[in-house]
Structure 1
Amino acid sequence: MHDHAPSGIRGASNRRLLAISLSITATVMVVQIVGAALTGSLALLADAAHMFTDAAALVIALIASLVAARPANDRNTFGYQRAEVFGALVNAIILIALSVWVALEGVRRLLEPEAVEVAGGLMLVVAIVGLAANAIAMWLLSSAQRRSINVRGAYLEVLGDLLGSVAVIVAAIVILTTGWMPADAIASLLIAAMIIPRAVSLLREVASVLSESTPQGMQVAEVRRHILSKEGVVDVHDVHVWQLTRGAPVFSAHVVVDDDAVRAGRSSEILASLQNCLAQHFDVEHSTFQLEPAGHVEHDTHA
C-alpha cells in the first residue's frame, strides 16, 4: 500500500523541505534566545538550545541529502544513500547531549528556586510563537519523513520542539497565575525526558540499517512464499534482505528453476516475474536473483 503523493509545497523535494524548515527553525531560535534573555526562563532557553540543535541537524541533513544524490561509481556501487544514515546518527547523538544538559540545568534550578525570577507574560508569548512555527515545520515534513530516515530525524526533532513549546506554555501559565517559579525548571526537565526516547528510537533504526538487518515490516518467510509460488521455481535459498537507508531495501537470493523451464528457455521470463513480484508486493526496487538448474545448489557459506 502506498501513500498518496502530497501536492503543493509538501510535495517539494526533501532538500527544499529541509531548507524551508531550517529557515523557520533558525528564525524562531533567535526569537527564543532573545525571549529567554529577557524573561530569565530556563524552559525557553532549553527550547532555544533545542532549536539551535535542530538548525545544526537540519544543516547536516541537507548536506547528507546532497551527498546521497550523487550517482553511483566503481568505488561506491550503491551510490551515497547511506550518507543519510550517518546524518541521522549525528542527529541522534546531538539529541542525547542536549537532553543531558537540559536535565542538569533543570535540577540545579529546582535546588535553587530563588535564584531566578521568570517573566511569565513574555515567556508565554514567545512559547506560542514557537508552537506555531514548529507546527508549520512538522506539517511540511510529515509526508517526506515516511520515505527518508534523514528527514525523519529532522521531523522527530521538530516534534520534540513542538512538545517542548507546549510544556513552556503550561509553565508560563502556572507562573502567571500562581507565581510558582519551579514550574519553569520542571518544564525543562520534561523537555529532556521527551528528547531521550526519540533519540534512542532513531539510534535503534540507524543500528538496524548499519548492521544490515532485515527492514522492519518485511517478513522473509512471506517473500519466500511469493517466490516459490512462481511457475517453474523449485526452491529458493541464500535469501538476504537489507536496506541502504529508510525506504531503500535491497534483496538477493538463489532460485532453483525446474530443468524443463530451463530447457524451454523460460529463465528470462521467470527472472522478470520474480523482480516484478519483489517490486510490486514488497517495494524492493533493487533485487538480484541467481537462477540455478535443479541439479545445481551452491549454498552461501554464511547462510
Structure 2
Amino acid sequence: MLTDNRAAVRKVLLITLFLNLVVMVIKAGVGYITGSLSLLADALHSFTDSGNNVLGLVTNQFASPQPDRTHPYGHLKFDGIGAVGIAAFLGLAGLEILRSSVDRIVSGGKPVNISPAEIWLLLLVLGINIFVTFYERKAGQRLGSGILIADAQHTMSDIWVTILVIAGLVGIWQGNVWNIPQLQWLDVFLAFPVAILVFKSGWDILQQNLPWLVDSVAIPPETLYNQVMQVAGVVNCHDITSRGVVGRQVFIEMHMIVDAEDVETAHQITEEVETLLQAKYHPARILIHVEPPAYRSEQITYESPSE
C-alpha cells in the first residue's frame, strides 16, 4: 500500500513558496532600481518558481496514490502533469528573456547603476536559493514526490543564473568605477545564457516526467525475467511489461508457468515472486497470470511492429 504524503508535500511547497516570493521581490526591486535587464530576467525566472509552487499545490491536491473507482491505478500522474507544467513555465520564461534581450540590443536602454549594498543583497538572495534547493530536493526524495524534485531542479538552475547575473553586475559596477562603459553590455549578453539555462532546465524536467505520463518501460523485461527465474518453482515467464518510475511507483505484469500440482502451491510461488520484486522496486503493483504447465512461450516481452 502506498503512503499518502500529500500533506507533507503541501507543507514543503508552502515554505518554498514564501521563500521564492521573497527572492522574486528582492530581484525585481533591485532590477528595477538599477535598470538591469539580466536581473529583471532572473526575477522573471524566480517568478516561475513561485508559480510552480502554486501549480504544485494545485496538482498535489489531486495526486493521491490510492486507487478508487474512477482511477483504479491511483492519481499520481497528476504529479507528473504538474512537473510538465513547470517545464511549460520555463519555456515561456526563456522566450520572454530572449525577447527582452533582443529588444535592448536593437533599441538600447539606460545604463545599469549598481552599488555594493545591492550586490550584497543579491548574495543574500543566492543563499536563500541554495537553501530552498537542497531543502526541497531532500524532502522530494524522502517523500517520493516528483513535483518537489522537479521544482528543486528548477531552483538549482536559478542558483546558476543568479551567480551568473551577480558576476555580470559586479563587472558593471567595476566598469562604472573605472569608467569603462563597454562593460554595460555584460548585462545584455548575460541575459542570453540565462535563457539557455532556463530552457535546459525545462527540457530536463520533460525528460524525467514524460516516460511516466506516456507509459514507457520502467524496467527492462530481460532484467525482470532473470530475477523471476531465480525463484524456485518458476518454469518460465513471458509477456513481461512494466511502466511507471522506479522509486515513485511501478506497475509490473507478466505471464508465468510454475511447477505446481495445485492452486495453493502455484499461489505460494507467485507470492515469492511478488515479494522479490517488491523488495527491489517498491512501491510496486504486480499482476501475475499463471498458465498451465504444458504451455510454452519464448516471447519475453512485446516487440515493436517493425521487428
Give the shorter-chain TM-score range: 0.7 to 0.9
User: Paired residue for 1:118, among 112, 136, 141?
Assistant: 112
Contact 2:48–2:90 (8 Å) recurs in 1: yes
**Equivalents in 2 of 1:297, 1:62: separation in Å?**
50
- The alignment's C-alpha RMSD in Å is 2.3
Match of 1:227 in 2: 228
Q: Which residue of 2 aligns with 1:269?
A: 268
Among 110, 124, 128, the alignment partner of 2:123 is 128
- CA distance in structure 1 between the aligned counterparts of 2:103 and 2:245, rounded to whole angstroms: 43
Q: Which amino acid counterpart does residue 56 of structure 1 have in structure 2?
A: G
What are the within-5 Å matches in structure 2 for residues 13-52 of structure 1?
Answer: 13-52=8-47
Is the alpha carbon distance of 1:249 and 1:233 closer, same or farther for their aligned partners in structure 2, counting shifts above 3 Å?
same
1:243-284, Cα deviation, whole Å (9 max, x unpaired): 1796211111111112xx233831121111111111112334
TM-score (norm 1): 0.87
Among 157, 161, 164, the alignment partner of 2:161 is: 164
Shift of 1:194: 0.7
The count of aligned residue pairs is 287
Q: TM-score, length-normalised on structure 2?
A: 0.86
Q: Is the 8 A contact 2:216 2:243 kept in 1?
A: yes
Structure 2: any 5+ residue segments left out of the alignment?
1-6, 177-182
Distance 2:300 2:70 in 1: 24
Deviation at 1:300, TM superposition (A): 11
**What SS does the aligned partner of 2:264 have?**
coil
Equivalence map 1:251-270=2 (5 Å):
251-258=252-259, 261-263=260-262, 265-270=264-269
Identity percentage of aligned residues: 21
Q: Which runs of 5+ in 1 are unaligned?
A: 1-11
CA distance in 1, matches of 2:263, 2:24: 68
Tell me if the contact between 2:256 and 2:289 (Cα under 8 Å) persists in the aligned partners: yes
Q: CA deviation at 1:85?
A: 0.8
> Contact 1:209/1:245 (CA < 8 Å) preserved in 2?
no
Say if 2:64 and 2:75, in contact at 8 Å, map to a contact too. Answer: yes
Structure 1 residues 140-179: aligned runs within 5 Å: 140-146=135-141, 147-179=144-176
Q: What is the DSSP-based 3-state SS (H/G/I as helix, E as strand, rest coil) of the residue aligned with 1:289?
A: strand
User: 1:111: Cα distance to partner?
Assistant: 4.0
1:184-195 pair list within 5 angstroms: 184-195=187-198
Secondary structure of 2:70 counterpart: coil
